[in-house]
Structure formats: C-alpha cells, structure tokens
Amino acid sequence: MKISVVIPTYNRKHTLARAIDSIFSQTSQVFEIIVVDDGSTDGTPEWIMQTYPAVKYIYQKNSGVSSARNNAIRSAKGNWIALLDSDDEWLPDKLEKQIEFLMKQPNYKFCHTNEIWIRNGRRVNQMNKHKKFGGEIFEKCLDICRISPSSSLFSKSILDDTGYFDESLKVCEDYDLWLRVTSKYKILFLDNPLIKKYGGHSDQLSRPPDGIEQYRIQSLENILHSNSLSDSQKRAAKDTILYKLNIYINGLKKRGKLKDLEIYKKKIKQWINI
C-alpha cells in the first residue's frame, strides 16, 4: 500500500505546518505528501519550498478546493489516497490503525475514522446527527456529510469508477463524492477519534447566503439522473430530495425569493411524478 497524502491549501500558511507535521509524526510512513496551493497570496510558495523540501508542491490559479484535490490526486504516484485539510491534523497513529484495519478486511477499499472537534480552541461534542457508520451506508449519507475528508483513506481506483470531486460545486463537494462512493462500495469505519478537526476560525469557507441545502439538492439530482442506483437507493434518494426541497422552499418563502421559489416548486412536481 503506497499512500499519497493530498492537502489542498489557500492562504493557510498559519495552519499548514500543523497539518504537515502531523503527517511526519505518523507511526506509519507515507509514500508522498502533495500540497496543492490554490493561488495563495500569503507567501505559502516560498515558505513551503524552503521549510518542507520533501513535500511535492503544486501551484495553481485559484480554482477551488475540488480542483485542488483533483489536481493532486491525478498527479499522485501512490495507489491509496489520504486526504488532509490544511486546517486539520492527524493523531500520530491515524494511518497505522487504518492500515491494520484494512489489512484485516482486504475486500474494502475505503476507510474513515471518528474525529475530535475543536471550535475556537475548545473541544466540543458532536451531536447525534453527526454519528458515523460503516458498511453499506449510502442511505445514511443522504441527509448530511458523514465522512470527514481528513479522516478518509481510500484506493485511488475508486475514483476511476465513481469520478472525482465535482468542481462545479461551491460547497458540499465531499457530500457529493461520498454519495457516489457509498452507492457502490462498502465503507470501513474505525470508531476511534484519530483526527482533530478545527473550526470557528475566520478563514473557513463561508456559509452560502441561502444555506447549503441547494447544493445537496443538486448532488441528489445528479446521482438520481445518473442511473447508477439500485431501486432501493433510488427510493431513498427520492424521499430525501423531496424532503430537502420542501424545507428549502419554506426558507425561500420566508426570504421572499419568489423567482427561486417557482423554480424549486417545479422541481418538487418533477420528482413527485418520477
């Protein structure tokens, strides 16, 4: 197993060292570390090439996190991919435990773990709705994103089958990809908190003005139109999209977004009749 670690970054020099150091501190070595700089203006290029000469550094014009991840994955020489966001970090035995878990169950090609949440410097508890699962988890992934990118370790061959991150999505690109992955593959879940996921800082991706449900709806539409789901998966996805559409429409009514309201009302009728 040759593991390529993929780190997308944009103006995150102040947290990037923590992320990279957590890879070098692993009890299991990786094959390569790839940092894709999505057009940083904070001195990241010079700093990373001087401080971490062993890291494979790729610079691209600002194109978004999906483009950065895809760029790195396509250039990866390893046959397994581990994602790490530039503001997160791994615990030292993260990869060792995942590798051991995968070796015991060689038919699996994807493993994720539990996590520790840090908000504004303090540890916070996850809510029950964020509970994570293993096995055939497609239906459990329909409501929200249940796999943290920074916890994932997967065979690169999976993406040749499911496709890469959707670069047209501003947010929910991970939710979108995990739907495609979990619709076809069983998932290993290691119920150990093996990453630290940081939040609350000012440079996090801002929440879209109208929320993120419109992007989840878009992802659900895409996978329903793909003709790749089983009958039971289609029923579950259709139920979820109708539920989300009703919630989103109520929000549009409250905000007086009449033009958008008509568009999403038509979507409801469309999915009811399919």
Instruction: Check residue 241 and give its pLDDT.
Output: 97
Rounded to two decimals, the pTM is 0.93
Task: Render pLDDT for 98-156 as a digit per residue (tens, 0 to 9).
Answer: 999 999 999 999 999 999 999 988 999 888 888 999 999 999 999 999 999 999 999 99
Quick check: 273 pLDDT over 90?
Answer: no
pLDDT band at 158 (very low <50, low <70, confident <90, very high): very high
Instruction: Check residue 204 and give its pLDDT.
Output: 55
Domain regions of the chain by residue span = 3-199, 213-273
Task: Render pLDDT for 33-79 as a digit per residue (tens, 0 to 9).
Answer: 999 999 999 999 999 999 999 999 999 999 999 999 999 999 999 99
As its CATH architecture, domain 3-199 has Alpha-Beta Complex (3.90)
Q: Tell me what percent of the residues of the chain surpass a pLDDT of 70.
A: 96
Quick check: 203 pLDDT over 60?
Answer: no
* Distance from C-alpha of 242 to C-alpha of 247, rounded to nearest angstrom: 9
Instruction: Check residue 200 and give its pLDDT.
Output: 67
Quick check: 202 pLDDT over 60?
Answer: no
